[in-house]
Amino acid sequence: MNNVLEVKNLTKKYDNFYLDNVSFSIEKGKIVGFIGTNGSGKSTTLKAILGLIHSQSDKIEYFGKTFSKNSRDIKNKLGVVLDDGYYYEILTIEQMKSVIAPAYDNWEDSVFNELLSRFSLNKRQKISTLSKGMKMKFSIAIALAHHAELIIMDEPTSGLDPLVRSDLMELLKEIVEKEGCSILFSTHIISDLEKIADKIIFIEQGKIVFEKEKQKLLEEYEKILKSEQVNIENIMLYHVKGGLE
């Protein structure tokens, strides 16, 4: 199996929260939905695998290699789209790009400029004036301009209107089909994943409840819930409200 990310036994302890031996994998060319209720551990997991917080025990491999701050070859293949943005608000899009681009060996200005045009983003516009949807598109343009093979997204559609979310979902499908990359998509808006996800990972109270192909998951729970109208949200609520252990 060709995995671009493998997470094994990820553990993080806080006073009131415990990320308990989280393990999962992401295959090449797949869109994986990472779901859970608020406070379930989604953002903590993503921050840990990106090295933004220190975990007590884990084995994390990108493209078969252990990640470290000096892993430039891994960073070249990794794109990150975070809800917080982490951009300098006083800079323009062009200035922010000039800060970011030197970090990647395979950056292509032509690809970046083409995406700005497609997204109707003005390179002279300040980051502080961008809407949330525009910032998400800017982040995606950055990831694609250096040909990221894995894009990790934390709540990319939170706060966006339905039309913008729908456009973003279509874009992500197109990206995977065209570029052959993989996407790990953390969200609490389950309906977005119904459209594009190949696999679903569900975390609750710091533990992975299941990691399954979306279609197989739906077929399995049609039998369990005795319904032909099962969706991912039904399945998640079934567990949260005391379904199968």
In total, the chain counts a number of residues equal to: 245
Q: What is the structure's pLDDT at 243?
A: 63
Query: Looking at the domain assignment, is residue 79 inside a domain?
Result: yes
Whether pLDDT at 12 is above 80: yes
Number of domains in the chain: 1
Residue 161 has pLDDT above 90, yes or no: no
> What is residue 245's predicted lDDT score, i.e. its pLDDT?
45
Q: Over range 148-174, report the average pLDDT.
A: 85
245 in any annotated domain? no
The percentage of the chain sitting over the pLDDT mark of 70, rounded to a whole number, equals 96
177: domain range? Answer: 3-240
Question: Which of 68-72, 74-78, 110-114, 193-197 shows the lowest per-residue confidence on average (mean pLDDT)?
Answer: 68-72
57 - beta bridge partners?
Answer: 11
Question: Is residue 125 classed as helix, strand or coil in its secondary structure?
Answer: coil
Task: Give residue 125's identity as a one-letter amino acid code.
Answer: Q
Judged against a pLDDT cut of 80, whether residue 1 lies above it is answered with no
Average pLDDT over residues 4-29: 92
- Position 201 pLDDT exceeds 90: yes
**Domain annotation covers residue 195:** yes
Q: Which two tokens stand for residue 207?
A: 């533990």
pLDDT in tens, 67-92: 766 678 898 999 988 766 678 999 99
The 8-class DSSP code of residue 52 comes to S
Residue 162: how many CB atoms within 10 A of its CB? 11
Is 154 within 8 Å of 165 (Cβ atoms)? no
- Looking at the chain, the whole-number percentage of residues with pLDDT higher than 90 is 49
Q: What is the CATH number of the domain that holds 135?
A: 3.40.50.300
> What tens digit of pLDDT does each residue of 47-61 get?
889 888 888 777 899
Q: Is the pLDDT of residue 244 over 70?
A: no
Sequence-separated (6 or more) residues with CB below 8 Å from residue 63: 4, 74, 77, 149, 150
What the block records as the tokens of 72 is 């430039």
Answer whether residue 205 is part of any domain.
yes
Residue 162: predicted pLDDT: 84
Phi and psi at 71, nearest 5°, equal: -85, 75
pLDDT of residue 110: 94
Whether 130 is covered by a domain: the verdict is yes
| Buried/exposed 222-231: b ≥16 CB within 10 Å, e otherwise | eeeeeeeebe
Residue 86 burial (CB count, 10 A): 9
pLDDT tens, residue by residue, 162-173: 887 888 888 888
Q: What is the pLDDT of residue 191?
A: 84
Alpha helix positions (H), the chain: 42-49, 72-77, 93-100, 109-118, 132-145, 162-179, 190-196, 214-224, 232-240
What local confidence, expressed as pLDDT, does residue 69 receive? 62
How does the average pLDDT of the chain come out, rounded?
Answer: 88
